Structure formats: structure tokens, C-alpha cells
Structure 1
């Protein structure tokens, strides 16, 4: 395979070029948004060495082949791209400080460049400068807030930062709702986005509607994120960039610091419960007396030690790139040291893009290799330890921290190997571990390698017909070692419950290889002076192979000798391999009239290997149209109202995104089966049955919108209404075990999703000498309604994931998804019913709905100010209309008495607000509770560790949020200043940057950032459910330097 790849790469690189095209001279004038001429603007023919610059009056002239794209570039302004068509020789161009334009050229399906005015669907293009404004390491974070309708949320703030992305809500109740990633024309899973160097990106086009899927197939049903990387340029350019950013914890749960360890108001030195007496500053014993007679003590007072556990993280990202006539070469090194001590991840990458022309033939090859080496605390392994101990301990690192008594000075226990009070066996409590011991004892070391290569060949058969062939190989290899340090405690420690920890190692390997082949013909021809025809006809093949292998030794002889042969007993392990294939034919046909009316018909036929014969092929058509009314009716056009376009489309798409071998009976070996028993193997049959007639999920998408420009595009507007009818949803439901199975997969559910996507741009909103103020914003309103679950079984609700007491559900007649959970028993007026003797409430046996878990609206506001060489830009983001559950986090804090809520009324007896008791004179009626207090006849912690902890309504709050997502201040050193002093540096800029600098939440949210969807790593669609295992959110701040040579 290595020899084949080398031949593939070298063979593509040695191609030579011959110029072939009919050239024509074009000329014009370039001005800024204020109408003043711009000098020194570079005008280049994309993909060639032809370029020129504007003179002092903004004028230019150059020879350009017909059909080529010319790019206008200038520091401080957004790039402008235009296509040179027959009959056109003059282009007067206005460059804006904004990244939005109504007549720009955008990259659409299959990488075909089209003028935005032609498109009958919504598409946005984000340039590299905007993406890298705040120097995000993860490309997804660079897109946050910059595309209307795009929702990016974080699942963890670890050094392997993970995000979830969706466009305009969801289209599948139980399947994937991620958009498709297309990198330089090659389709791939969105997970590869984190492997890309944002500085390698030329631009990102976002296709939001179902029209994208008509060409790209089922993976594009949730929209498409098209990433175009940089190519060669006319003159050799070396770019050097460096960014250093620091990370601090930005939000921590509200914890009480009034009461310490113990129970019932009595100090207990070995307890992690915080139900002891109020802090008084006295000296107390903590932990047991050790065998040598030593006893540790502490001051009985509250501290902030739990927050101080986390480090200040540091990210250093350095990149260098060389751009020449026919290639682009870049190197990157990004070292992330996280907020969790000792956690780190280093991403190193190389990219080479090359392109050659042979007259009518063009060949290009892209090569990208990324390696990530990481060393992390292994939370999963520690959770297994706590499960085996069965002591009720808090399994996650974050949970351990927040549930540590406030009088424990955690920073004293860093040296868990040498300090006797910090060791495993001498830790003060049995119900938790020294967090420094935890992060040192359970480690995950890994290497992730991503290789993305593609070959792009095109043949311009005539001036109206072009053939393109693309082949790609995408490979991911993950090799991990999960290590557990063995601990052999003394007999004294074992007697107090500190069981031995067996040294262990697990080798994990994940290998994936995706091969694709894509061939299509592209037609673009004028029928007569009025009509132009554009069409595409192609075929696509994809094969996806992956294998997961695990081998482990659970009882090492020598504790820290991590070799599988260093063991007692047999090896544990598993190996699973999968293969899927997809065959497709696709096409489109478009007719353009006088460049102001456009209609396009699309279609695609897919055949998937994951479905049964007879149901594994499906066709989906589409149509979209656009009309430029201000060109069709010239009388409408004026300086105040210069552009109006209306557009609309309908598309039918399908989704066969199910696991391979879904329809076959499979066998496995559960960890609790007791097999293999010696040399006797044992397997268990799958308890799920699958409908052999399973069909693809179907999506009928409709959208309509407009784009408008006012006052010579000083104000631009864009709005879209979209409606998706989603049917034949594939769901899993419980069935009678008499059938031999407990669950069944079938086509049953359906739901509708709809909304409005709106964006505006004012350039400038205010003008002043040498500068101005620009303002950009977007708004998404998104809703849905579940119309059925499973009528054949009479089901009206479906569990999506989460906790039994607080889970995500799809419920007939309500938006998807709903947070459903436990609540107190209430009377008809919504008042809480409490005991007339204890004052304590009881939890209702019926769960209730608390609201939707996906945002109903998202608002992004981006003001920017530029003056001379300075540019200040901010981005504010608001999400609202939804709820979030912190049940997993809040119930843990209530149990141990560390949450702020458990110190209510200084833990004196109190009447539960809004409570009622049974009316002794009227059975079945209730009266206001004015006298019965919680904690008056029994310990108050009985309520907090009982009904309060188990009732989800105490931990479900509004997920509304405002945040300062990005802030940057950039200074571009004037080019004339540089050229007057030296000839080496052609451009230099420095910037102060920040991300997630401020967060504003409702007062009721005392728990966590609601954007942290930590449970989606286990339940992909369990939005709005945050457990106690995720690291807290962080803010980033730092500086960047960019130099051009």
C-alpha cells in the first residue's frame, strides 16, 4: 500500500504544464465601500501566474482567459472573486471590509464555482481571514457564529476538544444530524474537521439546505461544509504565523463554603459528606490515624481549593507555508497543555497541494498528513474502579473535585507518591480518591494519524464541456495504550476498605480506510444570446473499511511494566471489522436566462450495502430556481434599492445511515458472561431484531428566500424559510421478550422541522476619517413537531438518551427533543404537596415535560471598527428558547452537601416555598403550608439526600445564554512603512485575541455552561443533558503574529 501511495503521489507531482486558453483583455477600477479608489490591490487569475495591481487611481488592466476566475485581494478587505464570461471586458469592483457580498463567486456542489446570484438555495462562504480571526485550533470553533443557522456546541474542554455541529436543527430522531464535510471536493466524515489546520484553509462554503444532498447523497442531508484549501499563487510567498493562548476555567458550579465534612451537624474526619457543623476556624483532625500514630489536621474553614486544582492551560500553535506558482506547502505544530494537570496533545501536520496544466488537461494532487500524540487522564478506567469497589464513590474527576469538602486543602496532596497523607491507602475518605492520584494512576497515551490524499484530473474537451475525475484515500489510525498503575495497600488499608488495584494495560487500535471514486461531466454552454445551459452528470463509488481491536491484560505481575506478556491469567480482547459500500449516479440540469433567471433540476440514485436487497436503492429529485428582480425589472433598481433576488427550491433526500450488518443476527461476548471459561468459549446472541424490509429515512425539504442590497450594497439582507418533512424514521422500540428479543428496529416515526434563517450586513454603519464601523448579524428561528412515533404499537414517545429521572424524549405533538423528568407532587394550582408532619415533599410517579433541549433561536452579532491599520472585532452569541438538565451534576452535589442550594437558610428548619399540606377538614383538598418545616423533626440532610436529590426539576433550568464568543484587536503594519525600511518582510500583523471571554446566564443556572452537551458522547442526540464527568468550560486569551516574506 505504501508503494502504491508513493507512486500515486509522485506520478501526480511530475506533470508539466502548457498554457492553453483564448485570452482577452479586461480592465476596470477598484474602490472601497466609501467610493474612494484603492491602490495596490492585487488582481490575479486563479490557478495561473497572471496578476497585476491597481494604480494610484484604482485602475487596472490584464489579459484573462475566458471562463477563468479573477480574484481581487487587498489587506484589510475581503477577497472578491468574479468569473470572466464571453462579452465581458470591464469589471468595476467594490471591496468591502465585510465577508458578505451578493454577487461573489462561491464554491458549490462538486467544487464547481458559481456566482451566488445564480443559486436557488442558501449558501454562505467564509474566508480564511474571518475563520482565523481569533486563532482557533479547531476549525469548527473558527466557524462559530459566522454562518447563520450553524450551531456549534462543545462536549468537552479537554486537550482533544470535541464539538457537535448541526445546521438548521435536526432531520433524524435517532440517526446522525451532523453535516457532511467536503474537503477539496472529497466527501468525508465531519470528525476529520478537527485534523485540519485552519491556516491552510482558503475559504469554507456552507450549503444549508437539501439541495446539496441532491448531488452529494445521503450524507449531505444535514447540509454540507465545504472546505477549500489554499493553492499555488503567482509569486513565491512565505507565511509564518505563531499564536500563544492561555486557558482558564470560566465557569464553576456555585458551591457552599459554610459547612464542612461530617453528618447531622457532627464532624467526621473520614467523611466526604458536607453535612457537618458550620465552619468556625478551629483545628480539626481529617482522615484516620495512621499506623505510625500520625494524624493530619486542618483548619475548619471554607476554601477555593477545588477551583484551584485546574491549571492555566497553554496552546502554542506555529505554522509556516510556502506558496509558489504550482503548489502550496505548509507545516504546522500545535501543542496544547490542558487545564487538567499533565494532560497534553500535540498536533503536527504537513500539507502539499499541487496543480499542473497540460493545455486542455489539468492534474492536481492534495496530500495532508496529521499526527496527534496525546497523554490524558483516563476517566473511563477510573469509573470501572469505582464500579468494582461499589462504595458509592464519585467516578469522574470533576465530580470528585466538587464533592471534596471545602476545608480540604487539595494543593497539599500533589505528591501522592511520597507524601504519606496523599497516598492511595491513606487518603482521608473511602468515598473518593485524591484527584492527583487519579490523574496519575489512570492514563491514556495515544497516537492518531490522519492521511488524506486525493487526485483531481480534468479534461476541457471543448469550451463548453469539461470532464473531471477524482480519486481519494482517507485513512485514520488510532493506537492507544490505557494504563493502570497497580497498588498493593497494606493490611491496615485493606481493612479500612482500600482494596488492591491491579496493574493493567489495554492496547486499542482503530483503523479506517475510505476509498472514493468520482467522475462527472460538466457542461456550460450558451444556447443563444439569452439562454445558457449548465449541467452535470456523474457517478460516485465509496468503500469504507474499519476495524477495532482491543487486547488487555488485567493483572500485571510487575506493576509498571506495560507489556501484555507481563500478566497473570488470560488476555481479554475483541476484534470487529466492518465494510460498507455506496454506488451512486447523479446529475443536474440548469437553464439561465439573461443572467437574471435561473432554474435547476437535480437528481441522484444511490445503492447502499447497509440495507436489504429490494430496499437498498433509492432515487431523490430536486428543483431550485432564482430570479434577480432588479435585473428583470430595471425600473425597480436605484441607488437606494440596487439588488433583489428571490429564490426557492424543493428536494427529496434519503438517509441510509445505519450500522453495517444491521439486518443480520450477530453474536458477542459480554464482559459479564464469564466466558471464555478456561478453554471453553461462549457467545451471546443479539437481543435486538431488525425489520428485513427496513427502508431509508425520507426527507422532503422546501425552502424559499430572498437576498437584497440597499444603498449600493451598503446594507445587504438575506432570509430563508425552510420546511422539512421527515418520515420513515428508523427507531428502536421495546417488544415482548416472548418473541426471543427485547428490542426491534423499524421504520415508524415521523416529524416536521421548520424555521427562518436571516442575516444582514451593514458596511459601513458609520464612516469617519480613515475608518468606519461595520455591523453584521444573523438570526435563526427553528422549531419542530413530532407527528408520530409507532402507531402499530400505540407508542407516542421515544427515549433518546440520558437519565431515567431526566432524559431526552421524542414525544408526539411536541418539538424534538423534550426534556422529561421527575417533579414533586403538586396540586391543581401547581403548588408542592408536602407532608403535614415532616414538611418534606414527595416525588411524583409520573415524569413531566420541561421543554425542548435544542435552541429555538440563535442570534449572532458582529460589530467591528477599523481605523487606519487597526481593526477591532467582536462577536456576541445568544441562544434561547430551550432548557438544560444538570441532574447528573446537581444530584451528586446535593448528596454530598456541597451545592449552594444545600446551605439554604443556613441549614435551619424552613418551610418549603410554594408548598401546601392536606386540609384535615376537607379530604382531597390542600391548604397553604404556613407552619410545617423541613428539618424541624429530623436531620435536614434527609431532605437534600432524598427527595431534593432525586427530583430532576431542581436541576433543570433555562439554557438561555449570551456570550462574548470572540474578540480581536489587530494591527497591520503599513506596507509602505515596511518597504521603506527593508525588502524582506512584505506584510506583518499582530493581534490580541480572545474566545469565550464572558458568559451571561440566568440566575437560576448555578451549575454549568449550558452549551456543554457532555452526554452527547454517549447518546449522540441527548442535547441539553450535562453530567458530572466533563471538564469545566474555559476562556482563551492570547496573541498572534503573522508575517509574509
Structure 2
């Protein structure tokens, strides 16, 4: 027989047939069941079946996941062809939950969101999490402007941790993996070194499930306190012979945003005059406070070369290249009755918009299983990836940050001139701006360099043993290992590093997981009962070695031994967690479901009396639509609720003093020191997170209309913090348990099928999420906790009591009760105390996706929207200080005319009453004879350059912008070639596609930068400085299956 028996029964009439979809393709694994006696079979690899029906008039129920179930009357037929229609919304959808267990979505008492491979790869986004931005409610995804080699920040239902990471746990095929981001860019600069997600091949991923709340993720323990992202890779599909799949994509990368909205009226120079000598020109290439542009005027530049004083079109944007990305992947699969395997190889190459910046990534994966006996099955899988990056862009205040060098270039200065004048005939650096913190961009890309290599292996093996049909055991051993090597070379003569410098960093990470589980599943009458209990042991080790060489011996030789001074830093971190966990699930008549879970972790990072901590969860769902008779307008209704508690530990070595060796010696002897400035605390206890959520899922009109709604509230207590203490203790900080953060919010997903005909379907989905966040309390002695600090204006990002997490703080402008800015001598005044000026986190997010299909042609459009966040744009501040911003035009002509009149009259500035200039909008104080103060409109003229320069380091308020945006995030178009084209060939299918990512910034209130620009993915979001242009991608691809 070509099918498998589900239930044995007496046979009265044999029926054979085939089950196919609307595309005429066979459906493998569809169930056919006789309604009268429950006899059932499943279809084979050709979609065929044979069943012994109870009679010639039997009724067969035919079903398959994702398809509408059909009831077929036999009516004496021995051969039947059955066509199943795809469901618009899948009621019996199976999702992956904690520990990799697949369950029906309707049975879950908490929210789980899934994204399949089609949605993941539609735009050919190479970072798997960036690819789902805007597609899942309650998941905020962002990245830096570092490009394809950068990392991704994923926040589920708001920030809840004051220290450490707020990002979720990542689990690949049931194996937790390390996604710890290396220390990224800060206020003084740095790099984005990427993360584990940047090395995954999206083509190998079958599905991503996101467990949002503690109830969904509680079984993963303390590592999952911020949610879980479950990544399921592809397995071999049942089919004849060896399956082969090949895909290839070519993408063109252009600039989405750029430095193109600057003033083009005044050029290089100061005080309204152009630079008329090479000496003055060498210090004003980034100063645009000169005279009015005149294409007929001759001016000097750096080497006394004569140039015209006109506007240079694209004088900044022309620095960047057109990027290219190629991806090629091939996969082989094979199945038989006992075994299955899939092997894939992929290669990705990227030449970025930043000149001389390249990325290559190669990955090989294997996934297979075999049934060794009737009761014993073995699974194994492994993924190896190798990534090489040449010249990651520097970020933030790095002197080599190209963005910082370019944003200040005067409109009359042609940056292309720098390409042949960045060094002299002896190879020494040519100063072009008098600023060692803004290095010539061509010196950066041609003389400075950095490179990195990342090797990663993720592998695991599993054993499954079935004692009976309802009692099974499993054992799993997994490994996640990677090595990251980074070299940063700064040649001799570089400003600030005239003797040269080199840094080599090597990081090794090893994480082991061992897990055993015993699972029971059986039906008792109307009750479905399942339960499991298990244990897990996790061991983690991180080792870092950093060598820094100073004073190069042989110019140009890039070797760490070529430096007269070499300092070495070494760090070793180890951690272990032992766990017990379990779950009991009850189902009644596919109507009511109840789950209860527990987990107990024992962490090596806490003291013996506190290191063991227990946390439970309970959840339930009610399919209330089963209470009513079937109505065509009401398809499905479900209520769900859950409660959970999750614990959390801390990083290693917080309980006692830790000692280390200084990277330098004294007379040949290494010096020891205490590595931390924090007082250790041997009594630290676990962090606790309490969560409650309720939700509803309703669908109407045969799944043409659906709404999924969730309300949640979550509070995290006993945060493990390092808080300031008196310096008299010998320490600057102390580790304590303190702090409480609350998150509560709503999530909603609306699905619509406005049009559905035989050949045309229009699907629409809108997802919405709003999170209310508050730092409820910190400590009786500390009311503000610093998350990040800015380079300028003494701006900070705080977690402050009574405020949302991550507020932007600094000195604010003094204002009257009516809100008018108070001026003194024409310049704004500032409050001496620090105030809240904004919030770097979004109030709410919206995603709107439309999908259209007509016969073999499919199209999807995704619009991504985020509202309510603020950003302190230091790029905007610098453009005002340098005079390149359009806002700096106001008052110039009047001031320069006034100055010309003063000079003509030979009057000293202190004795002159300006007749024009910039007048700040606000009021000034006046005092009458009795000493009473009142306010009148400000009418004092000031030099616009002096006005904006006075704000540079005084207050961030004028440069805090609304960071809301609306983006056309993704458009994809695909065409499935008719199968009749490939009859009598080994080709099974061919799909052609075209796509675009980040195509259009529809709405934004931030000038010249992408609102998603950030120089790191840490907890302190809301600062931007020297951002590179964001990238827009167009491409096309082909997928062929054999």
C-alpha cells in the first residue's frame, strides 16, 4: 500500500484517489477519514491514497494544515479526485512554541506570532530580523547605519531591564544560541561588529515564531525574560528522488537618505567672506559662513589652487558608490520511509555604498533524521558560517567616521578634490580642515583599514525513544561556538595617531546545552492530556584577547609585532545554569484548554542561598465559537488569558572581588588590580518579572475578516544594578537589587480579504502596537540611572523614576509661563538644572501589508510606521554650527550688511548697534525703575554664526527632533512560470521575482538623516551623530526547483 494507516477498521468498500491543490499539485500528508468509523489514512508522496470505507455511501473528511477541510460523499465511486482550497486564515494553524514543541494555535493561552519563509525572503533582506520589521505587532526592530555587516536591535513589548540586554533569546531548531553584541559605538566612537543574526542565511529558514510574553517563554528560563525568537530551519520535503533547489539574487543598493537638504546660498569662509588664501582655506573647508556663492568668483583652496566660488552639485553624495549584493544558494534533499536529509550551501557578497567596504558570507547547513528502529529515531543538524568584512564604517564620534567628515563640507567645496590631495608626495597626511577629529575621508578609505572574520558552528544531535504511542523520551546535546577576529589599523601620520596604532581583538564564545525530556500525550474520552518534564544544563564560556600596538616601527607594515609598545588585555567569563522544567496541558472537546508550567533554575552567578529560583505560569483558552451553531458570518472565536512569573540572574563575577593584570608593566613586572569599580554584593537575588495578558481572536465571513487583540501588563522588580556610592569607600559604584519597571500595552492585528475570485485574491493585514512604559522606582538614594551619554551639550539618556524608560535629558531653554524663550543680549538663556526633553522610544507602531495574486503573479507591499519617539540629532547640531543647515540662512544678509556699514564707518563693534542679523523668537527681560521685571519681544540682532555656535555645547533642546516616520518598507513581485512549460524536463518549478527594500521615506521630520539612524543598539536610544546615509535596495531573483 502507498499510504499509512491511522486506525484499523472493518472494510466494506475500497476507495482510491488523489488529493491536489488548486494548482493541480499533489498534497503530501493530507488526512482522509471515514466519518462513521474513524478509519483514516494519509496521502503518499504523490498525493495518492487508498481507504477501506465503511460503505458505498460513506462520507470522507479530508484535511490538511492550511487548507479548508472538505467532506466528500463516496456515492459508490472507487476513484476520487479531491481538490482542497487554501484557507485565507488558518484556524487549525500549527505553531512552534517553547522547547520547539508544535501545537495548534487555537490551544494556546498566550500570543505567538509567526512569519513564514515567503514573507521573510520577499525583499531579499539578508538580516533575518530586519526582514520582519513592520510585519509583527509588538516587536520593534531597528539597526544602525553600519550597513549589511551591522547588528539588529529587537525589543518585544518594551524595555524592562536597566542593565544588560533588553533583547530576546534566540533559539534555532530548539537550540539556544548566543547573540550577545560586542561593545558597540559610544559617545566617543566605535564600530558595530554585527551579531549572530547577521550570519544566518534567510533561505534556510522555514519559519520564525515570536514568543512575546513570559507566559509564552517561561519554559526557557531566565534567558528568556525578554521574550524568545524561535527560528525553525527547513527540512527535507517528501518527494520522489533527490530534490534540488537553486536560487540566485542580484541587488542594487542606492542611497535612501543623504546630505542633500542643506543651504546652497553661502559658501566656504567666515564672517560673510570667502577664503581668499590657501592658509584660511585649509581651516574652513567645513565652515560655510562665507560669502554668497558666485560661480564667476575665483577663490583659493588648500594649496593656493584657484577654484570658482560656486555651488558644487552632489558634493557630498558623489562620495558614495552604488552598492551591489549577490546571493546564490543551492539545497539538496532526499527522503524515504525511514530517513530524510537536507544539505544547503549559500554564498552572499556585498560591495557597500561606502567605498572599499565589502562583505562576504558563506554558510553550509545539514539537517537530517533517520528511524533506527520502530521506537528509536535520531536527528542531527549543523550550520557552519564564515563571514569576512573589509572596512566596517566607523560610527558616532570616531575621527574616521565618514559621516562626520562629510556633513560639514561647505557647498562650494568639491570633496572630489580631496581624493588626490589627502597625502603629500612623501605619504604624509595633508590637513584639510584644521580638525584632527574629522579626518579626510579619502585618507580613511585608502590608508586606514579594518577587517574582521567570524567563524560560527551551531550543531546538535537528538535521540527520540517511543516507549508507547503516548509516552516518549528525548535527549539533546547542542553546541554554539564562534570566533570573532577584528583588526583595526591606523597608519603613521594620521591626525591624533601620528606614530601609528594597531588593535587586534579575538573573541571566542562556547555554549553547550544538554537536555532530557519525558513526554506523555493521550486522549481520555473528551479530554486531551499532554505533559512533559525535563532538565537542562547550560554552560557558557567567553574569552577575549585584545592587543594594542603603539608607535609603528616600519611604516605601512600591518603586523602587531611592528610596534614598539604593545599592551595586552585578557578576559575570561564562565557561567552555568542547571534547570528543571515541566508542563501539563488539558484540552476538552477542542473547546477549552488549560496549560500550567514550571521551571527552576540554579545559576552560578548568584550566591548559594539565592541561586535557585522557581517560577510558574498558567494559561488557558476558550473556543467560544463552539458554543453556537455554525453560522456563515461567524467563523471562529477564541478568548485567552495567561499569568506568569519569570526569574533572571546577572552576569558573572558580581559577588566578590575580581583581580586582573594591567596591560603594561613596571620594570618588567606585571601590575595587579581590582578589575571592577563596583562594590561586590554576595547577597544579590534574582530579578523577578510578573506578567498578565488577555486576548481575543475572532474571524468572520469564512475567514475573510479577522481580528486578534491582546492586552498585557508586565512588571520587573529587583533589578540588579550598579549604583553610585561615595568615593570614600574606595569604589565608585555598588551592586544592589533595586528598581522596578512597568510595561503595559495593547496589540492588534486585523486581517482582511477584500476581494477573492477564481483568479484574483487581495489579502490585507494591519498590525498595531502601543506600549506604556514607566520606571516605577529605582532606589531611595538614586532617582536617575544613566543609560547613555552624548558627545555634546551634556545630554544623557536616563531611566528616571516616574518617567518612561529612556528619556532624553539636558539643560532646557528658559521660558516664560506662556512658553516663550527668554533671551539675554540676543542669545537664549538656559536652566541650570537637568530636565526631561524627550523620549527615544516609540509610542506606537503600525504595519500595513497588502498582498495581491492573479493566477501565477503575486505582489506584496509593506508600509512600516512608527510614531512618538524623539532623537537628539548631533548631525543637525553640527550643520547649524558649520553653517550648512538651511535654518542658518535667516539673518545672514542683514548681519553682513550691518557689519559692512560698521566697517565703513570705522566704528568698534562694542559701540555699534547692529541694523540687521538673527533675532531669536521669544522675549527679553526689562526692569523698570522700581525693579519690576517684565518681558517684551526680543529685538536684539546677533551674528547668526555666533548664535548657533553658542548652542553647540549649551543645550540639546533646539536639536531634539520628532523621530516619527512612515516608510515604504518593501515591495515584491513574483511570477511562477506555468508548469506545462517544463513537462518532460527535470524542472519542477521556476519562480522569477523583483523586489525593493526601504524604497521611500514617505514621512519624516528629521532633516538629512534616516529617522532609524542610531550609532548603537544599546539600551540608550535617542542619540544620532554622524550618521551615514541609509540604503535603498532594488533587485531581482530566480528560484528553480528540480
TM-score range, shorter chain: 0.7 to 0.9
SS of 1:859's equivalent in the other structure is strand
- Seen in structure 2, the aligned counterparts of structure 1 residues 691 and 634 have a Cα distance that, compared at 3 Å, is same
**In 2: Cα distance, 1:858 partner to 1:63 partner:** 54
**In 2: Cα distance, 1:455 partner to 1:23 partner:** 32
In structure 1, the partner of 2:558 is 562
Q: Deviation at 1:652?
A: 0.3
- Seen in structure 2, the aligned counterparts of structure 1 residues 611 and 264 have a Cα distance that, compared at 3 Å, is same
**In 1: Cα distance, 2:108 partner to 2:413 partner:** 63
Residues 441-520 of structure 1 aligned to structure 2 (within 5 Å): 441-487=447-493, 501-520=498-517
**In 2: Cα distance, 1:158 partner to 1:63 partner:** 60
8 Å contact 1:157–1:1032 — kept in the other structure?
no
- Seen in structure 2, the aligned counterparts of structure 1 residues 284 and 688 have a Cα distance that, compared at 3 Å, is farther
Q: 2:318 aligns with which of 294, 308, 313?
A: 308
Q: 1:342 aligns with which of 343, 356, 372?
A: 356
8 Å contact 1:212–1:221 — kept in the other structure?
no
Q: With the length of structure 2 as denominator, give the TM-score of the two structures.
A: 0.87
Q: 1:196 aligns with which of 194, 197, 200?
A: 200
Superposed CA offset, 1:63-100 (max 9, x none): 99xxxxx9959xxxx68999xxxxxxx999965476x5
**In 1: Cα distance, 2:257 partner to 2:695 partner:** 39
In structure 2, the partner of 1:925 is 933
**In 2: Cα distance, 1:748 partner to 1:473 partner:** 35
Q: Deviation at 1:156?
A: 2.5
2:399 equivalent to 1:399: no
8 Å contact 1:413–1:419 — kept in the other structure?
no
8 Å contact 1:414–1:422 — kept in the other structure?
no
Residues 650-665 of structure 1 aligned to structure 2 (within 5 Å): 650-656=643-649, 658-665=650-657
In structure 2, the partner of 1:834 is 823
Q: Deviation at 1:702?
A: 0.4
Q: 1:357 aligns with which of 344, 351, 371?
A: 371
Q: Deviation at 1:366?
A: 0.4
**In 2: Cα distance, 1:92 partner to 1:782 partner:** 47
Q: Deviation at 1:677?
A: 3.5
Q: 1:694 aligns with which of 684, 687, 692?
A: 684
Q: With the length of structure 1 as denominator, give the TM-score of the two structures.
A: 0.86
Superposed CA offset, 1:100-142 (max 9, x none): 5232111111111111111111112221111111111111122
Residues 116-155 of structure 1 aligned to structure 2 (within 5 Å): 116-155=105-144
**In 2: Cα distance, 1:151 partner to 1:92 partner:** 43
Q: Deviation at 1:562?
A: 2.2
**In 1: Cα distance, 2:381 partner to 2:960 partner:** 48
Q: Deviation at 1:288?
A: 4.5
Residues 272-311 of structure 1 aligned to structure 2 (within 5 Å): 272-289=286-303, 295=305, 297-311=307-321
In structure 2, the partner of 1:373 is 388
Q: CA RMSD in A?
A: 3.0
2:395 equivalent to 1:408: no
8 Å contact 2:27–2:43 — kept in the other structure?
no
**In 2: Cα distance, 1:788 partner to 1:244 partner:** 52
8 Å contact 1:423–1:437 — kept in the other structure?
no
2:317 equivalent to 1:317: no
**In 2: Cα distance, 1:999 partner to 1:378 partner:** 23
Q: 1:621 aligns with which of 599, 616, 624?
A: 616
Q: Deviation at 1:807?
A: 2.0
2:997 equivalent to 1:995: yes
2:884 equivalent to 1:890: no
8 Å contact 1:422–1:434 — kept in the other structure?
no
8 Å contact 2:383–2:457 — kept in the other structure?
yes
In structure 2, the partner of 1:974 is 978
2:853 equivalent to 1:866: yes
**In 1: Cα distance, 2:607 partner to 2:893 partner:** 63
In structure 1, the partner of 2:911 is none
Q: 1:1023 aligns with which of 1013, 1021, 1024?
A: 1021
8 Å contact 2:404–2:1025 — kept in the other structure?
no
Superposed CA offset, 1:543-584 (max 9, x none): 01111011232222222222333332x421111111100000
Q: Deviation at 1:304?
A: 2.1
SS of 2:461's equivalent in the other structure is strand
Deviates most, 346-355 or 277-286: 277-286
8 Å contact 2:147–2:1031 — kept in the other structure?
no
8 Å contact 2:881–2:952 — kept in the other structure?
no
**In 1: Cα distance, 2:87 partner to 2:258 partner:** 38
2:707 equivalent to 1:717: yes
Q: Deviation at 1:701?
A: 0.4
**In 1: Cα distance, 2:16 partner to 2:258 partner:** 59
Deviates most, 344-353 or 712-721: 712-721
In structure 1, the partner of 2:29 is 44
**In 1: Cα distance, 2:67 partner to 2:448 partner:** 50
- Seen in structure 2, the aligned counterparts of structure 1 residues 180 and 486 have a Cα distance that, compared at 3 Å, is same
2:1034 equivalent to 1:1037: yes
**In 1: Cα distance, 2:215 partner to 2:869 partner:** 29
In structure 1, the partner of 2:577 is 582
**In 2: Cα distance, 1:123 partner to 1:367 partner:** 26
In structure 2, the partner of 1:1012 is 1013
In structure 2, the partner of 1:256 is 263
Q: Deviation at 1:20?
A: 10
Residues 796-835 of structure 1 aligned to structure 2 (within 5 Å): 796-803=783-790, 805-835=794-824
**In 2: Cα distance, 1:189 partner to 1:202 partner:** 20
**In 2: Cα distance, 1:172 partner to 1:676 partner:** 39
- Seen in structure 2, the aligned counterparts of structure 1 residues 402 and 24 have a Cα distance that, compared at 3 Å, is farther
In structure 1, the partner of 2:602 is 607
- Seen in structure 2, the aligned counterparts of structure 1 residues 930 and 430 have a Cα distance that, compared at 3 Å, is closer
2:861 equivalent to 1:881: no
**In 2: Cα distance, 1:712 partner to 1:922 partner:** 81
In structure 2, the partner of 1:538 is 534
8 Å contact 1:1010–1:1024 — kept in the other structure?
no
In structure 2, the partner of 1:12 is none
SS of 1:139's equivalent in the other structure is coil
SS of 2:514's equivalent in the other structure is strand
- Seen in structure 2, the aligned counterparts of structure 1 residues 49 and 556 have a Cα distance that, compared at 3 Å, is farther
Q: 1:215 aligns with which of 219, 223, 231?
A: 219
Superposed CA offset, 1:252-305 (max 9, x none): 24322222222222323122322222212244444454xxxx645453434321
Deviates most, 902-911 or 19-28: 19-28
**In 2: Cα distance, 1:915 partner to 1:677 partner:** 61
2:357 equivalent to 1:330: no
In structure 2, the partner of 1:739 is 729
8 Å contact 1:362–1:459 — kept in the other structure?
yes
SS of 2:852's equivalent in the other structure is strand
- Seen in structure 2, the aligned counterparts of structure 1 residues 377 and 812 have a Cα distance that, compared at 3 Å, is closer
In structure 1, the partner of 2:163 is 174
8 Å contact 1:258–1:302 — kept in the other structure?
no
**In 2: Cα distance, 1:919 partner to 1:638 partner:** 79
Q: Deviation at 1:634?
A: 2.9
SS of 2:417's equivalent in the other structure is helix
**In 1: Cα distance, 2:91 partner to 2:1023 partner:** 40
Q: Deviation at 1:248?
A: 1.5
In structure 1, the partner of 2:988 is 986
SS of 1:135's equivalent in the other structure is coil
In structure 2, the partner of 1:4 is none
